[in-house]
Amino acid sequence: MKKVVFITLLIIVTLPILLNAEFKPIKGIPITSYSGDFTIWQGKIWQVDIVFYSISIFDLEKGAYVKSITTPGFNPYSISVFKDTLIVSNDDEICFIDSDGKIYRTINSPASSITGLASDGNYIWITEETGKIYCISADDGTTIKTLEGPEGRINGLGYSDGYLWTTSRYKDEIYMIEPENGEVVNILPSPGPYPSGIFVMDDSIYVSDFEKDSIFVHLLPTTDYIITEMPKKSRVTLRWEMVNPGPGNVGDVEVYIAIPKNLPNQRLLKEPEFTPKPDDILTDRYGQKVAYYQLKDIQPMEHHTAKAIIEAELSSVNYFIMPERVKSSKEIPKEIKKTYLRDSERFRIKDPFIQKAVKEAIGDERNPYWIARKVLNYVADKIDYERIRGWDVAPEVLKRGKGSCSEYAYVYISMMRAAGVPARYVGSVVERGDRASIDGVFHRWIEIYLPGYGWVAVDPGVADSPYPRRKALAIGHRSNRYLITTIGGGDSEYLEWSYNFNEKIKDYGPRTNFMVRRYAIWEPLLEEE
């Protein structure tokens, strides 16, 4: 009786997701020390000073100081404009004042300590120290809605074109938030170590920094929307090994090693090196290249190894996506639809259970971005991560409510294709904690095609979190510890449903006992190399 043993190394390390950014300010505007929040009104910057309880006024174009007015109370941390009237915080109060500082009226807020103010034209929005976001009536402070903020302490608040904007003091980040349900749509790095206020207008982001005593101006990354950061160079060795302890022989083995290519997150420093030389380089139906080896008549106690050495610069990436700028599904190229909307044995997009799940998840939604977000939330809510042997079909995984990263991928791809949005998977090897490390677990996630943006990464396992910031990292984000080797739609003629490696063992006796091992060795690549 045959016995086949597959050996993997299980190394699980919990790491923070790294942000991506080549997001530089186009200019800085000097402001006073002890700068808190600010707003832009009547062509001027109105900035509160939280030590001297004053509002300093600067010319927006020239940055020149104009004058100062006294604020109501000793804690004027936040400032905004509501229907052409300045509003300033004082602990839990909101004071309506004129341009000379005269108080018209005051209302109480539900926040114990206000850290940001904004207006959508109808209501006032508030952030507080705990991270919560409130929407209140400007008449009497009645709470209309309460949202969980992105993460911990948030400072400053802005409103522009249907979205809220705020910053994180501790994570040095900028958040773009959908105000209906509090979902974080985009995350950007802040320009300084202590962001204290934010204002967005005319495709520009203004962020004040308490430590830098400046307001930094950024352009929204709507054209160059793939933002990269934190490049590092690594040498990654992909190793496939097979040993036959006997007593029988193994007659015919085909081995495939996926060959990585240049992508937004990775730049190959030179052509991969193979040992031994492959018998051929093949390309599957998805354009994935593989190194092909054919082994014959493996005798007892024979040990075979095939390896690929890849030297690459890996970067964190972040796609800045404006949902309203995602085009209609009608704009998706026909060839992409033909390849990445088709059904298969693992996806089963016509299965009644999948069809029902899609209807529950997206309702009448038609925007491909929001379809992706709604399916993401649905899958994250219905499936818990569990790494078990085998990869089951999408309906079975969804019914079971547990699955590995590959099974998450199958379910998500199935539902997205059923919803009419092209989806495929990518496979990678992972730097597990240290720069020098070994990975025998690997990772797979999904890419969806958003017309106007192209292929965008989605990782449903990341979305399984109660924190809006963490959930946001599931779309369009990838850290610099992944080397992507494989891009496919499933059922490759060489890799089949696997990624990174595959082997087809065709001929062995009933008493053959062989073992296969697949893993990646990571090493930091020094500059002098």
CATH number for the domain spanning 325: value is 3.10.620.30
* Mean pLDDT of the region 203-231: 91
Judge contact between 513 and 450, C-beta under 8 A: no
Whichever domain contains 243, its CATH number is 2.60.40.2250
pLDDT band at 133 (very low <50, low <70, confident <90, very high): very high
Which residues is 388 bridged to in the sheet? Answer: none
If you search the block for the tokens 């025998």, which residue do you land on? Answer: 440
* Beta strands at 443-450 and 454-458: parallel, antiparallel or unpaired: antiparallel
Predicted pLDDT at 11: 29
Per residue in 248-277, pLDDT tens?
888 889 999 999 999 999 999 999 999 999
Judge contact between 36 and 50, C-beta under 8 A: yes
Query: Is 18 a member of any domain?
Result: no
Q: Is the pLDDT of residue 516 over 60?
A: yes
Q: How far apart are the first and last CA of the chain?
A: 50
Do 240 and 216 reside in the same domain of the chain? Answer: no
Do 470 and 327 reside in the same domain of the chain? Answer: yes
pLDDT band at 50 (very low <50, low <70, confident <90, very high): confident
Predicted pLDDT at 19: 35
Query: Is 19 a member of any domain?
Result: no
Q: Is the pLDDT of residue 9 over 60?
A: no
Do 160 and 132 reside in the same domain of the chain? Answer: yes
Burial (CB < 10 A; 0-12, 13-18, 19+), residue 232, is: middle
Do 116 and 158 reside in the same domain of the chain? Answer: yes
Count of Cβ atoms closer than 10 Å to residue 81 Cβ: 16
Q: Of 303-312, 401-410, 482-491, which gets the smallest average pLDDT?
A: 401-410
Query: Is 15 a member of any domain?
Result: no
Average pLDDT in the chain: 90
pLDDT band at 22 (very low <50, low <70, confident <90, very high): low
Per residue in 412-467, pLDDT tens?
999 999 999 999 999 999 999 899 999 999 999 999 999 999 999 999 888 888 88
Q: Is the pLDDT of residue 237 over 70?
A: yes
Query: Is 188 a member of any domain?
Result: yes
Do 59 and 184 reside in the same domain of the chain? Answer: yes
Q: Of 52-61, 272-281, 332-341, 367-376, which gets the smallest average pLDDT?
A: 52-61
Query: Is 35 a member of any domain?
Result: yes
Indicate the residue among 189, 220, 251 that finishes a domain. 220
pLDDT band at 359 (very low <50, low <70, confident <90, very high): very high
Indicate the residue among 220, 240, 264 that finishes a domain. 220
Count of Cβ atoms closer than 10 Å to residue 264 Cβ: 18
Task: State the total domains in the chain.
Answer: 3
Indicate the residue among 188, 220, 252 that finishes a domain. 220
> Which amino acid does the sequence have at 25?
P
Query: Is 239 a member of any domain?
Result: yes
Predicted pLDDT at 412: 95
Q: What number of residues does the chain have?
A: 529
Do 322 and 311 reside in the same domain of the chain? Answer: no
* Mean pLDDT of the region 374-380: 94
| Between residues 409 and 523, the one the model is more confident about | 523
Could you write out the DSSP letters of every residue in 225-257? -EEEEEEEEEEEEEEEEEEE-SSS-EEEEEEEE
Judge contact between 88 and 48, C-beta under 8 A: yes
- Beta carbons within 8 Å of 344's beta carbon, 6+ residues apart: 489, 490, 491
Q: Of 96-100, 402-406, 473-477, 478-482, which gets the smallest average pLDDT?
A: 402-406
- Beta carbons within 8 Å of 137's beta carbon, 6+ residues apart: 123, 124, 144
Q: Is the pLDDT of residue 528 over 70?
A: no
What is the DSSP secondary structure assignment for residue 263, as one 8-state letter? Answer: B
Distance (Å, rounded) from C-alpha 111 to C-alpha 109?
5
pTM score, whole prediction: 0.89
* Mean pLDDT of the region 230-243: 96
Burial (CB < 10 A; 0-12, 13-18, 19+), residue 309, is: middle
* Beta strands at 477-478 and 214-219: parallel, antiparallel or unpaired: unpaired
Q: Which of 238, 412, 240, 441 is nearest to 340 (CA)?
A: 412
Do 338 and 285 reside in the same domain of the chain? Answer: no
- H-type alpha helices, 383-510: 394-400, 405-418, 460-463, 468-472
The winner for highest mean pLDDT among 17-21, 71-75, 394-398 is 394-398
Judge contact between 474 and 377, C-beta under 8 A: no
Do 245 and 343 reside in the same domain of the chain? Answer: no
Distance of CA 25 to the CA centre of its chain: 22
Whichever domain contains 127, its CATH number is 2.130.10.10
Do 323 and 307 reside in the same domain of the chain? Answer: no
Do 479 and 459 reside in the same domain of the chain? Answer: yes
Cis omega (within 30 of 0) for bond into 245: no
- Expressed as residue numbers, the domain containing 114 is 27-220
Q: Of 168-172, 499-503, 515-519, which gets the smallest average pLDDT?
A: 168-172
What is the DSSP secondary structure assignment for residue 16, as one 8-state letter? Answer: P
Torsion angle in degrees (nearest 10) through CA of 100, 103, 105, 106? 110
pLDDT band at 13 (very low <50, low <70, confident <90, very high): very low
Burial (CB < 10 A; 0-12, 13-18, 19+), residue 130, is: middle
Predicted pLDDT at 529: 59
Helix (H) or strand (E) holding 358: helix 352-362
* Mean pLDDT of the region 358-373: 96
Which residues is 6 bridged to in the sheet? Answer: 516
Distance (Å, rounded) from C-alpha 481 to C-alpha 88?
44
Query: Is 529 a member of any domain?
Result: no
Q: What is the largest CA-CA distance in the chain?
A: 94
* The two structure tokens encoding residue 115: 């850290």
pLDDT band at 244 (very low <50, low <70, confident <90, very high): confident
Cis omega (within 30 of 0) for bond into 247: yes
Predicted pLDDT at 2: 35
Query: Is 21 a member of any domain?
Result: no
Predicted pLDDT at 280: 98
Do 505 and 459 reside in the same domain of the chain? Answer: no
Distance (Å, rounded) from C-alpha 453 to C-alpha 269?
26
Do 89 and 187 reside in the same domain of the chain? Answer: yes
